[in-house]
């Protein structure tokens, strides 16, 4: 990557202002839920798109993303069908979920705190993401790449997903808290 596409900002190397598109081949949009109150079940969405707009003032940067809910997979067909049903995501009625930046609220080292609006099942809620800038690189094909990791936790009931089943031993079948984990690469777009 040439020095014209990088800059130093408050001791951190960041990209110059520009637009980066998520690279679906090098990005994972995943989630983790508790099952039976003890085990973790992981899933991911395989069809998504998004744009990161790095601003002159990095704290004015923005993110927009759209995820196809039908692309969800947990590796188990029956569970995926249940998650796509009206009990959870209602994929027939709400085929996409979206995210957009409200504002960046803080920074410590290479980790930014991003407040955004997440919309699932037509219900928009503010969520706080911890976004770590993992680095900048140039691919062998000359593409400028920004790598990042983002995490947040949501309460699925805030988005109308209230189905559950009580366990005889106490607790419930599926956790209310869902962890969202994104490991990504985004490629600079031509102006």
Q: What is the pLDDT of residues 72-114, one digit of tens each?
A: 999 999 989 999 999 999 999 999 999 999 999 999 999 999 9
* Cα separation values, 74 from 5, 24, 48, 124, Å: 38, 18, 16, 24
User: Of residues 90 and 161, which shows the higher confidence score?
Assistant: 90
Residues in the chain: 191
Is 163 a residue whose pLDDT tops 50? yes
Q: Residues 110-122: what's their mean pLDDT?
A: 97
Residues 6 or more apart whose CB falls under 8 angstroms from that of 161 comprise 87, 88, 89, 120, 121
Using a pLDDT cut of 90, give the percent of the chain over it.
81
Rounded CA separation 62/45 (Å): 22
**Helix (H, G, I), strand (E, B), or coil: what is residue 170?**
coil
pLDDT in tens, 42-60: 999 999 999 999 999 999 9
Is 124 a residue whose pLDDT tops 90? yes
pLDDT bin (cut points 50, 70, 90) of residue 134 is very high
pLDDT bin (cut points 50, 70, 90) of residue 1 is very low
Residues 6 or more apart whose CB falls under 8 angstroms from that of 32 comprise 40, 41, 42, 43, 178, 179, 181
Question: How far out from the chain centre does Cα 143 lie?
Answer: 22
Per-residue pLDDT, 172: 65
Kindly write down the DSSP assignment for every residue of 90-140, as one continuous string: -TTT--EEEEEEEEEEEEETTEEEEEEEEEETTEEEEEEEEEEEEEEEE-T
DSSP alpha helices (H): ranges in the chain? 77-84
For the chain, domains (ranges, CATH) are 3-150+157-185 (2.40.128.110)
Per-residue pLDDT, 36: 67
Rounded CA separation 43/26 (Å): 16
Per-residue pLDDT, 2: 44
User: Of residues 40 and 35, which shows the higher confidence score?
Assistant: 40
CA dihedral 166, 170, 176, 178 (to 10 degrees): -120
pTM of the model: 0.91
- Single out the residue of 164, 160, 152 nearest to residue 115, CA to CA: 152
The DSSP output letter for 190 is P
Using a pLDDT cut of 70, give the percent of the chain over it.
94
Per-residue pLDDT, 3: 44
- Ranked by mean pLDDT, the top range of 1-15, 34-48, 108-122, 152-166 is 108-122
Q: Residues 138-143: what's their mean pLDDT?
A: 90
Per-residue pLDDT, 7: 94
For the four alpha carbons of 174, 179, 183 and 189, in that order, the dihedral sign comes to: positive
């Amino acid at each position: 990557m040439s020095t014209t596409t990088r800059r130093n900002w408050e001791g951190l190397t960041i990209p110059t202002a520009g637009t980066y598109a998520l690279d679906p081949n090098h990005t994972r949009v995943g989630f983790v839920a508790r099952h039976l109150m003890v085990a973790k079940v992981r899933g991911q969405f395989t069809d998504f798109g998004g744009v990161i707009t790095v601003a002159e003032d990095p704290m004015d940067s923005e993110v927009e993303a759209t995820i196809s809910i039908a692309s969800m997979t947990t590796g188990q067909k029956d569970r995926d069908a249940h998650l796509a049903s009206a009990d959870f995501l209602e994929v027939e009625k709400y085929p996409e979920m979206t995210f957009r930046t409200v504002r960046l609220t803080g920074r410590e080292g290479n980790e930014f705190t991003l407040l955004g609006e997440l919309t699932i099942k037509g219900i928009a809620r503010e969520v706080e993401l911890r976004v770590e800038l993992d680095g900048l690189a140039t691919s062998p094909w000359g593409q400028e790449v920004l790598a990042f990791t983002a995490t947040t936790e949501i309460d699925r009931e805030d988005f109308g997903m209230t189905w559950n089943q009580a366990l005889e031993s106490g607790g419930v079948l599926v956790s209310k808290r869902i962890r969202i984990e994104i490991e990504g690469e985004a490629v600079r777009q031509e102006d």
